[in-house]
């Protein structure tokens, strides 16, 4: 295994341990269950799932390190001939019990492509983190974005505005004409060139990944004990429906995994356990639910 592959693999395994430990510490009931799996074509991963907790209704923090012959769907997607690939990454989605705690998602990944002789012909980094609240608290969104910006700024102060904009563009439920949530950062296809080497982008990935817990845990701690009603829970389940719609209609990673015979349990781990769709549901004018939907119609500069 070459240097970047090895370093990124160690990074995501350490980050998986750190994030799982941090989340477990907030939940007095549930622990992560680990499911190790192997990919028939090469490699495997560790899927860790938490469910039925006091704080987290369902969540997953997954790592995968896979390699082998490039599937036909990948050849078409990357516009290359037959060859081999290596991909490693961490992906997580957390669905809380309390409707006043936001759902969150993050992933950080590294990819390499090789020709038929095994020579590397391309490589890139991708990832990001975003926040999906059910009740909008401006201070929460500001904290999340400021924490991610601080991490970006340690590498390049142009990264946050660029990747914040890319996140707003990507996590857009086009069929609903609204954002999935309040965004965060999103980046993809960051390649080394004559100015910036792989070490630069690896260091950026580490900074972004290490910012996840400081960005999210304070929001969990702030809201996990808030009192809520059945109506609040119903609203959470309605908004979860929008989350499912995005993942199954627009999310590139989900669609790519389904088209390339990916591991279904890991791919669909991102979906919440209980979801509601109400015909022509419209929140009352001026209600907190109405104000959330209004805010999601246009991107907001949180920092």
Question: What is the share, in percent, of the chain residues with pLDDT greater than 70?
Answer: 99
Residue 251 has what pLDDT? 92
Exposure of 218 by Cβ count < 10 A (0-12 exposed, 13-18 middle, 19+ buried)?
middle
Residue 2 has what pLDDT? 65
Give residues with Cβ within 8 angstroms of 300, minimum separation 6. 141, 182
Distance separating alpha carbons of residues 48 and 64, to the nearest angstrom: 11
Residue 81 has what pLDDT? 73
The predicted-structure confidence for 195-241, as pLDDT tens digits, reads as follows 999 999 999 999 999 999 999 999 999 999 999 999 999 999 999 99
Per-residue pLDDT tens digits of the chain, which is 303 residues long: 469 999 999 999 999 999 999 999 999 899 999 999 999 889 999 999 999 999 999 999 999 999 998 877 777 777 777 689 999 999 999 999 999 999 999 999 999 999 888 899 999 999 999 999 999 999 999 999 999 999 999 999 999 999 999 999 999 999 999 999 999 999 999 999 999 999 999 999 999 999 999 999 999 999 999 999 999 999 999 999 999 999 999 998 888 788 777 788 888 889 999 999 999 999 999 999 999 999 999 999 999
Q: What's the residue count for the chain?
A: 303
Mean pLDDT score of the chain: 94
pTM of the model: 0.95
Radius of gyration, CA atoms only, the chain:
19
200 catalytic? Reply is no
Distance separating alpha carbons of residues 299 and 165, to the nearest angstrom: 9
Q: What are phi and psi of 12, to 5 degrees?
A: -70, -30
Distance separating alpha carbons of residues 119 and 113, to the nearest angstrom: 8
Distance separating alpha carbons of residues 88 and 103, to the nearest angstrom: 24
- Say if strands 172-173 and 120-132 run parallel, antiparallel, or are unpaired: unpaired
DSSP state for residue 72 in the 8-state scheme: H
Residue 293 has what pLDDT? 97
Set 105, 143, 145, 223: catalytic member: 105
Among 91, 250, 258, 266, which Cα is nearest to 171's?
250
Joined tokens for residue 202 = 């690896």
Residue 164 has what pLDDT? 98
Distance separating alpha carbons of residues 48 and 18, to the nearest angstrom: 12
Among 303, 299, 295, which Cα is nearest to 170's?
299
Sign (positive/negative) of CA torsion 254, 258, 260, 265?
positive
């Amino acid at each position: 295994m070459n240097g970047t592959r090895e370093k990124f693999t160690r990074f995501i395994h350490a980050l998986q341990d750190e994030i799982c430990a941090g989340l477990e510490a907030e939940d007095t009931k549930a622990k992560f269950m680990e499911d190790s799996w192997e990919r028939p074509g090469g490699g495997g991963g560790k899927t860790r799932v938490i469910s039925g907790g006091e704080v987290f209704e369902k969540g997953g923090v997954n790592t995968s390190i896979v390699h082998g012959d490039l599937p036909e769907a990948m050849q078409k997607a990357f516009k290359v001939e037959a060859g081999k690939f290596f991909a490693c990454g961490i992906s997580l989605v957390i669905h809380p019990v309390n409707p006043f705690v936001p759902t969150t998602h993050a992933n950080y990944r590294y990819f390499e492509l090789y020709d038929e002789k095994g020579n590397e012909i391309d490589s890139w980094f991708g990832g990001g983190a975003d926040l999906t609240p059910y009740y909008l608290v401006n201070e929460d969104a500001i904290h999340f974005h400021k924490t991610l910006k601080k991490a970006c700024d340690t590498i390049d102060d142009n990264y946050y505005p660029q990747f914040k904009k890319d996140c707003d563009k990507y996590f857009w439920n086009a069929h609903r004409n609204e954002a999935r949530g309040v965004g965060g950062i999103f980046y993809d296809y960051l390649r080394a060139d004559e100015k910036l080497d792989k070490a630069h982008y690896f260091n950026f990935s580490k900074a972004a990944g290490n910012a996840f817990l400081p960005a999210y845990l304070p929001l969990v701690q702030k809201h996990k004990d808030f009192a809520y009603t059945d109506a609040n829970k119903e609203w959470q389940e309605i908004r979860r429906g929008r989350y499912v719609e995005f993942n199954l209609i627009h999310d590139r990673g989900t669609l790519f995994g389904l088209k390339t015979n990916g591991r279904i349990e890991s791919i669909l781990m991102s979906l919440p356990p209980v979801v509601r769709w109400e015909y022509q549901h419209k929140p009352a004018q001026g209600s907190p639910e109405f104000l959330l939907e209004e805010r999601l119609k246009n991107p907001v500069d949180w920092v």
